[in-house]
Amino acid sequence: MDNVKDFERLLMQKLNQYDLDKTFLKRTSSAIVSLKRQGLVIDQVSIKGKVHVDRILINGIIDPEFWKHFNQIDNLSRFKVFPYGIINPEGFRFEGYVR
């Protein structure tokens, strides 16, 4: 659980660099931390938008236990899952957007 706490602290440091609405910040951080708690191994959190932040992209690798605990996240606008690996798929990548 310390890993989740450290992740949440670092995520908030990254998100606080941008001028975000407090409700958007709260919804976004809770959605991303919820994915982490459900077993998504998050590789990258990217902030998208030129003038203002309009979406946040979450990239990660799905842990085999992820689907046992996955619930649709309210603030997750869309997500896709696709295999990675050249000849024999080694696992699945997750890409989700928070708006």
Q: Please give the chain's pLDDT, 99 residues, in tens.
A: 468 888 888 888 888 887 777 888 888 888 888 888 888 888 888 888 767 777 888 888 887 777 777 766 667 778 888 887 777 667 788 888 877
Residue with tokens 């959190």: 45
Residue type for 76, please?
L
pTM of the model: 0.74
Burial class (CB in 10 A: 0-12, 13-18, 19+), 40: buried
Q: Cα separation of 41 and 37, whole Å? A: 9
Contact indicator for 53, 46 with CB cutoff of 8 Å: no
Question: Within 10 A of 88 (CB to CB), how many other CB atoms are there?
Answer: 6
